């Protein structure tokens, strides 16, 4: 249809146009307010229910919007009358279900001979709420990104300090960075709420587990960890798994490893204990010398990051690691 040409048929009557306009305003949640040159209210259409009792024909914005917003709007509208330049303002109005936010777009009517000010009022409560939520999320994202960058910087610095060649540094740093990325994927997928312990462990095991047909040795309570706990426990698991894949049980195809989570106590408060137990039967070098970065991660960095406690023990044919995590860093939402 060519809408640039007049539509066929009889034209709408004035009453018909008015009815259509009222219906359009109502469906769009738009209100119309007309004030004369003295800014006295002369006409209002489709006002929200909680504004209607305040409407006084012949009154002004003070009656309709209250003293604070009314004074502000009167100043703006006087400026619109004098300059002819449109203005926009927002007001917050209490209602039965909370605070409602409205936007007023104000224009002078009458050209060179102004007759008054026409205000188009539309509710923007939901859009303002979304903006606040978005700003809050962006602030949280910024905070978490800075924390993540600090962790990456620490990993890079300590990895470099404990490696003797660029090639060795790249191998270890990439592995640790991938571990961090795997944990972060789970956290992001949960809208930054954290990650389940079992899913986190499976994600860390997956690149190194020798037999996809053999279940990964993860038992006990599938606690839901905070983002902070998930990131740091992921780093601890990475160090244990990489060592096992390089020198321990995984390296010879054995599955003599268990990762078990059970309820515990820490300083008289509820906690969980995540315990790694590994047995192996081939001698070899390990990543866990006293001053190694791996050992520092397990014994200091990870427990300190979550105000927990860690115990690490290594014998001739075994490695044991117990990490106690306080209740502030987890929830038990489901058991498995």
pLDDT of residue 335: 53
Q: Output the pLDDT for position 2.
A: 47
Q: Write down the pLDDT at residue 270.
A: 96
Q: What strand order describes the sheet that includes 116-123?
A: 41-45, 30-36, 116-123, 98-109, 87-95
pLDDT at residue 304 in the model: 95
pLDDT recorded at residue 271: 97
Give the residue among 76, 94, 93 at the shortest CA–CA distance from 85. 76
Contacts 24+ apart (CB under 8 A), 249-255: 249/278, 249/279, 249/280, 250/208, 250/209, 250/210, 251/280, 251/282, 251/284, 252/280, 252/281, 252/282, 253/210, 253/211, 254/280, 254/281, 255/210, 255/211, 255/214, 255/217
pLDDT attached to residue 12: 47
What is the pLDDT at residue 13?
52
Predicted pLDDT at 321: 97
**Domains of the chain with bracketed CATH:** 16-124 (3.30.450.20), 162-331 (3.30.565.10)
Residue 275 phi/psi, 5-degree rounding, is -120, 130
Report the pLDDT value the prediction gives residue 83, as an integer from 0 to 100: 92
The low-confidence residues of the chain, meaning pLDDT below 70, are 1-28, 281-285, 290, 334-336
Q: Return the pLDDT at 1.
A: 42
């Amino acid at each position: 249809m060519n809408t640039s040409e007049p539509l066929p048929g009889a034209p709408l009557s004035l009453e018909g146009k008015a009815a259509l306009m009222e219906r359009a305003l109502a469906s769009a949640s738009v209100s119309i307010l007309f004030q004369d040159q003295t800014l006295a209210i002369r006409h209002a259409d489709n006002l929200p229910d909680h504004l209607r009792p305040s409407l006084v024909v012949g009154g002004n914005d003070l009656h309709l919007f209250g003293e604070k917003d009314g004074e502000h709007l009167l100043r703006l509208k006087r400026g619109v009358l004098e300059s002819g330049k449109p203005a926009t303002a927002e007001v917050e109005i209490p209602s039965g279900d909370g605070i409602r936010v409205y936007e007023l777009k104000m224009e002078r009517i009458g050209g060179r001979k102004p007759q008054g000010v026409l205000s188009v009022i539309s509710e923007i409560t939901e859009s303002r709420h979304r903006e606040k939520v978005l700003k809050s999320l962006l602030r949280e994202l910024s905070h978490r990104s800075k924390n993540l960058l600090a962790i990456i910087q620490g990993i890079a610095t300590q990895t470099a300090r404990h490696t003797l060649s660029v090639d060795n540094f790249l191998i270890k740093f990439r592995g640790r960075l991938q571990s961090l990325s795997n944990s972060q994927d789970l956290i992001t997928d949960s809208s930054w709420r954290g990650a389940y312990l079992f899913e986190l462990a499976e994600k860390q095991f997956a690149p190194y587990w020798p037999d996809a047909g053999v279940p990964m040795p993860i038992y006990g309570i599938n606690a839901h960890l905070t983002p902070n706990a998930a990131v740091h426990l992921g780093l601890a698991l990475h160090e244990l798994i990489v060592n096992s894949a390089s020198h321990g049980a995984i390296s010879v195809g054995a599955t003599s490893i268990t990762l078990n989570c059970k309820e515990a106590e820490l300083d008289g408060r509820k906690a969980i204990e995540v315990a790694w137990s590994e047995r192996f039967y081939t001698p070899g070098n390990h990543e866990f010398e006293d001053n190694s970065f791996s050992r520092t991660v397990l014994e200091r960095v990870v427990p300190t990051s979550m105000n927990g406690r860690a115990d690490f023990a290594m014998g001739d044919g075994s490695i044991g690691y117990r990490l106690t995590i306080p209740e502030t860093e987890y929830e038990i939402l489901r058991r498995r």
